Chains A and B, each alone.
Chain A
Amino acid sequence: MESDAARGGKVREWLDGRVGLTDLEKIAAKKQIPVHRHTVWYYLGGMTLFLFMVQVSTGILLLLYYRPSAEEAFESVQFLMGEVQFGWLIRSIHAWAANLMIFTLFVHLFSVLLLKAYRPPREVTWFSGMALMGLAMGFGFTGYLLPWNELAYFATKVGTEITGSVPVIGSFLGRLLRGGNDVTGATLTRFYGIHVAILPATATALLGLHLYLVQRHGMSVPPAVEQAGGAGRRMPFMPNFLLRDLVGWLSALAVLAALAAFFPAELGKKADPFLPAPAGIRPEWYFMFMFQTLKYLPAHILGIEGEVFGIVAFGLGGLFLLLIPVLDRRTARGEPSRLFTWIGIGIIVYMLLFTFLGYTASATK
């Protein structure tokens, strides 16, 4: 310890005495990553974290020009895209990184699901991850409205109306979310507050818990690998795994820059409550499978309105996904659990199929 402190000179010694650098180094040096044929999935969580950090940085930059009111929001984004130097770049990166973050988050979630990494003692890690997914979708939903364009306006009308048709507390929740009975400037201000303050604060706290739990329990080795005699070898997190992480992050940054440069975020037309909803209106792709399901539901199912049926069904589906660590008793006992593997595959196939239909099925027929 003495020699460690001496190595970095006086500044290091001063800091070590007050912050405990040596202790942190010891913890970091102890962290090991199991190496086996599924190790590649370990990078997805870190990738999502990286994209979240991109979102926080670009989001802060967007705040410098954005004005959260129905009269000024669209114009301020127009100004940002057209007049501010590299304004288009910052907004495009923010829009693309949001999409990529949701994508890597989904891949992370389903890899954890299929590799059964939610089994004891990692149930709370799963719960906090599911909550973070909910927050990420909340980020997407609230952020979508902020440019105050036509598509966003109607997507928000539909989205908040869906909240409004939740049985019993729906109309209260709808009003609470919209800041009134309709989607207006009050909704925009409210969504802005949720998007830039409430969600980031909650997400940061939950992320802290999630990362602490990952740190505490270490990486889960999939049951199949464990039965085959466990991971053959381990690699130190510092620096081996972290450097591999960084390669991934740099690649993601390159992809982001390319997407932002070649496909900059669009703005469309300013929202007008007295124009009809434009044909071909659709939500962000990660809501598409739910959107498309609602289109196929008839007006009434078993005597209740089709969309209420759909919303209750999706709610129960989400609850089921959340409770999988508790429900999957076989995996918890260390036995193979084919049923839950098939359920996981079923969910993925359903989401892929309905997303595909959402983009290919004719909008009018």
Chain B
Amino acid sequence: MAEHAMGPDASRRGFVNWFLGLSGVAFLVSALYPLTRYLVPPQVAESTAGTVTLPIKPDDVKPNSGQIFKFGSRPAILVRTPAGDLRAFSAICTHLNCTVQYRTDLTQIWCACHNGHYDLNGKNVEGPPPRPLDSFVVNVRGNQIVVSKSA
């Protein structure tokens, strides 16, 4: 009989179970792999612009004020210090990603979300932010403000 040649029933059953189990795992992997890849969003190319010319005239920015502008796809903040210097920083709070704003009363950059304070060099001076804001280089060319990534 064939059974004798193949060995005891138990080992045949074991083989079939093992084979079935393996097929089950293979099925799960082949279903779960595309599913997980589907759930992870594709990388969209970031704007690589290193330089932005602002739609703001230098004379329109009063001392002790700040405003948000678009740096690529991210918000950035342009500040004129009470002494008259123009400075630009990333407007994304280093704590939890909120957009910061200029506080005339404190002469500081401030994040409303968790009360984080930065001085006019972008340094985190109070509250939860762990790092300074990324700073940009500001150049005034004639009647234009040009902001670029440092160096």
Q: Which A residues contact B (CB, under 8 angstroms)?
A: 154, 157-158, 161-162, 165, 172, 175-176, 178-182, 186, 273-281, 291, 294-295, 297-300, 305-307, 363-365
Contacts and interface: CB of A to CB of B under 8 A. Distances in A.
Contacts of A273: 75, 99
Nearest to B98: A277
Contacts, number: 88
Interface in B63-117: 68-70, 73-75, 77, 91, 93, 95-101, 110-115
Contacts of A307: 95-96, 128, 130
Interface of B: 39-41, 44, 46, 68-70, 73-75, 77, 91, 93, 95-101, 110-115, 124, 127-130
A294 B101 contact: no
A364 B105 CA distance: 11
A281 B113 contact: yes
A154 B41 CA distance: 21
Contacts of B97: 157-158, 161
Nearest to A362: B115
A21 to B, nearest CB: 40
Given A158-B96, A158-B98, A276-B91, A281 B112 contact: yes
A176 B115 contact: no
Given A158-B97, A176-B40, A275-B99, A300 B130 contact: yes
A175 B39 CA distance: 10
A298 B128 contact: yes
Contacts of B68: 274-276
A175 B43 CA distance: 10
B111 A277 contact: yes
Nearest to A299: B130
Given A276-B101, A277-B111, A294-B114, A180 B44 contact: yes
A175 B42 CA distance: 10
Most buried by B among A176, A294, A299: A299
Contact of B113 (A154, A176, A181): A154
A154 B98 contact: yes
A35 B133 CA distance: 62
- 6 smallest beta-carbon distances between A and B, as pairs: A276-B101, A161-B97, A277-B98, A161-B96, A277-B112, A299-B130
A168 B71 CA distance: 29
B128 A277 contact: no
Given A276-B77, A277-B99, A294-B96, 12 more contacts: A154-B99, A158-B114, A161-B97, A172-B40, A274-B75, A274-B99, A276-B68, A277-B98, A277-B112, A299-B127, A306-B130, A365-B115
B84 to A, nearest CB: 23
A158 B68 CA distance: 19
A158 B113 contact: yes
A201 to B, nearest CB: 15
26 contacts: A158-B96, A158-B97, A158-B114, A180-B44, A181-B46, A274-B69, A275-B68, A276-B91, A276-B100, A277-B98, A277-B99, A277-B100, A277-B113, A281-B112, A291-B114, A294-B96, A294-B114, A294-B128, A295-B127, A297-B128, A299-B127, A306-B128, A307-B128, A307-B130, A363-B112, A365-B115
B13 to A, nearest CB: 33
A299 B128 contact: yes
Interface centre among B40, B113, B124 (most CB of A within 10 A): B113
Given A157-B97, A300-B130, A307-B96, A176 B39 contact: yes
Contacts of B114: 158, 291, 294-295
Contacts of B111: 277
B128 A175 contact: no
Contact of A162 (B96, B127, B130): B96
Contact of A157 (B77, B96, B124): B96
A291 B96 CA distance: 11
A296 B130 CA distance: 13
Contacts of B69: 274
Contacts of B75: 273-274
Nearest to A273: B75
Nearest to A164: B97
A178 B39 CA distance: 11
Contacts of A157: 96-98
A172 B69 CA distance: 29
Contacts of A182: 73-74
A162 to B, nearest CB: 6
